[in-house]
Amino acid sequence: MANISIAGVTRSYGTFTALHGIDLAIADQEFMVLLGASGCGKTTLLRLVAGLDQASGGRIKIGDKDVTDLPPRQRGIAMVFQNYAVFPHLTVFENIAFGLRMKKLDEAAIKSKVQKSAELMHIEQLLQRYSGQLSGGQRQRVAVARALAMEPEVLLMDEPLSNLDALLRLEMRAELKSVLRESKTTTIYVTHDQVEAMSLADRIAVMQGGKIVQCADPVEVYRNPATRFVGGFIGNPPMNFLPARRAGGGIEVAGQIIPGPATGTPVFGIRPEDVAEGGEGPQLTGTVRVVEPLGAHLLATLTVAGELFRAVLDSDRKIAPGDTLTLTARPDRIRWFDAETGLALPA
C-alpha cells in the first residue's frame, strides 16, 4: 500500500512561510494533482514528500512508514522533472537502466524492467538511440520510463509536460493517464495548467498562498468551487463575477432582483458556457466589446453592470463589437461567493 498522509506540514524560510499547516490524504494508486499559480507552494510540498527539502513542522507518511526525516532513497519514490534530465552520453536503454544499475540489480532483471517500462511508454524501438536523436516528446517518455522502471511506491511529477508544444502535451496527457493506471502507481503531479489538472486527476488539490483551498474530483472543483479564487482559476475562460446587493427580499444583480443566499455579502458567479440567448432565468444585458471565433464556438466579451463578462455562444451567431446582447443565466448553475471572505455561499 502506497497511500500518503500529509499532516500539519509547514515550511518556513526565515520570516516567510511557504506552507501553512497542509493536511492531505492520498489513497493508494490515486492520481493527485497539486494545482495553483506560481508561488502557491505546490512544488515546495512536492519536494517535502520527495525528501529534497525538510519540513518545518508536521509529519509525512508513505504507507505505514513515517518518512518525514528519511532521505529520498529510503522513501520508495521516483521523480520526473520539468527538464527531462536525460543523460546525452547514454543510450535510451542505459538512461532507463541508470537507477537500476545504482541498485546493483543483475543484468537479466535490468533488461526485463527496462523492456517493460519502454513498452509501457511505447519507446521500445528507440532503446539504442541517444538523446540527441530524440524529439522532446520522446525524451520526456524516456524520463517517465526511467522512473517507472524503478517500480516506485510513489511517482512524483513536477510540471513534466510544460516544455512540450500543445499537440505533444495532449498526446502525453493521454499516454500518462493510461500508463499510470496500468502501473498502479500512486502519483502526485504538480502543474499550473488547469487543463492538465482536469484531464489527468482523480482529485485536484487547488493551492493558494501556501494553503489547500479545495480538494475534490475535477467535476466538483469545476462545478462547485469552494472559493471565488477557485472559480476564477479553474476554467478557460474562467467564471464570470458580477457585483450584487440585497434588495426587495432578494439579491439585485445587473438591475434585476433574483433569489440568492440569506447570509453574507454576495457576489454573483456564472460560467461563460452557462449563459445563452433565450430561456428562463436571470437576464443579463451588456455591450459586446470583443468577438473571438474559436472554431466550435464563439467567445464574446461584453460589459455587464460595469464588469467584463464572457459568454460562449454558437459559432454561427453573427455579432459585432458595439452590439447589445441579452443573455440568460441558467438558474441551477449560478454560484454565490462572499465578497469579504471569498468563500462560497449556499444558494
> Is 262 within a domain?
yes
pLDDT over 70 at 1, yes or no: no
Chain centroid, CA 235 distance in Å: 11
> Is 310 within a domain?
yes
What is the count of structural domains for the chain?
Answer: 1
Average pLDDT value for residue range 56-82: 91
Among residues 10, 12, 23, the alpha carbon closest in space to that of 57 is found at 10
Residues forming beta bridges with residue 284, ordered by sequence position:
327
| Weakest mean pLDDT among 62-66, 122-126, 288-292 | 122-126
Q: Which range, 56-60, 73-77, 164-168, 171-175, is most confident? A: 56-60
pLDDT over 70 at 58, yes or no: yes
What tens digit of pLDDT does each residue of 226-274 get? 999 999 999 889 999 999 999 878 899 998 899 999 888 999 999 999 9
Average pLDDT value for residue range 92-116: 91
Q: Which amino acid is at 243?
A: P
pLDDT over 80 at 64, yes or no: yes
> Is 19 within a domain?
no
- C-alpha grid cell for residue 33? 494533482
> Is 288 within a domain?
yes
Instruction: Give residue 332's pLDDT band: very low, low, confident or very high (50, 70, 90).
Output: very high
Mention every residue, 6+ apart, whose C-beta is less than 8 A from residue 102: none
DSSP 316-339: T----TT-EEEEEE-GGG-EEEET
Instruction: Give residue 73's pLDDT band: very low, low, confident or very high (50, 70, 90).
Output: confident
Average pLDDT value for residue range 57-75: 93
| Weakest mean pLDDT among 107-116, 148-157, 161-170, 208-217 | 161-170
Instruction: Give residue 286's pLDDT band: very low, low, confident or very high (50, 70, 90).
Output: very high
- C-alpha grid cell for residue 143? 524520463
Residue 280's domain comprises: 237-345
Average pLDDT value for residue range 12-20: 95
Q: Could you tell me how many residues make up the chain? A: 347
For 317: left if phi > 0, alpha if psi spans -120 to 50, otherwise beta; the answer is: beta
pLDDT the model gives residue 166: 74
pLDDT over 80 at 343, yes or no: yes
Please report how the helices 166-183 and 136-149 are oriented relative to each other, as an axis angle in degrees rounded to 10. 20
Q: Cα–Cα distance between 160 and 165 in angstroms, integer? A: 12
- Asked if 328 and 278 touch (Cβ cutoff 8 Å), the reply is yes
> Is 254 within a domain?
yes
Instruction: Check whether the bond before 218 is cis (ω within 30° of 0).
Output: no
Task: Answer with the residue of higher pLDDT: 17 or 151.
Answer: 17
Residue 299 DSSP SS3 = strand
Q: Which amino acid is at 67?
A: V
Instruction: Give residue 188's pLDDT band: very low, low, confident or very high (50, 70, 90).
Output: very high
CATH number for the domain harbouring residue 314 = 2.40.50.140
For the chain, the straight-line distance linking the first and the last C-alpha, in angstroms and rounded, comes to 41
Average pLDDT value for residue range 27-54: 94
Q: Cα–Cα distance between 91 and 95 in angstroms, integer? A: 6
Q: Cα–Cα distance between 41 and 313 in angstroms, integer? A: 36
> Is 193 within a domain?
no
Q: Cα–Cα distance between 214 and 104 in angstroms, integer? A: 43
pLDDT the model gives residue 99: 87
> Is 159 within a domain?
no
pLDDT the model gives residue 147: 86
Task: Answer with the residue of higher pLDDT: 39 or 347.
Answer: 39
- C-alpha grid cell for residue 50? 520527495
pLDDT the model gives residue 249: 82
Record the pTM: 0.88
Q: Cα dihedral angle (108, 111, 114, 116), rounded to 10 degrees?
A: -80
Among residues 23, 105, 91, 21, the alpha carbon closest in space to that of 61 is found at 23
**Mean pLDDT of all residues belonging to the chain:** 91
pLDDT over 70 at 203, yes or no: yes
DSSP letter (8 states) at residue 97: H
* Apex 180 CA angle, 24 and 53, nearest 5: 45
> Is 95 within a domain?
no
Among residues 341, 45, 41, the alpha carbon closest in space to that of 210 is found at 41
DSSP letter (8 states) at residue 141: H
- C-alpha grid cell for residue 321? 463589437
| Weakest mean pLDDT among 31-45, 170-184, 300-314, 330-344 | 170-184
- Asked if 168 and 134 touch (Cβ cutoff 8 Å), the reply is no
Give the CA diameter of the chain: 79
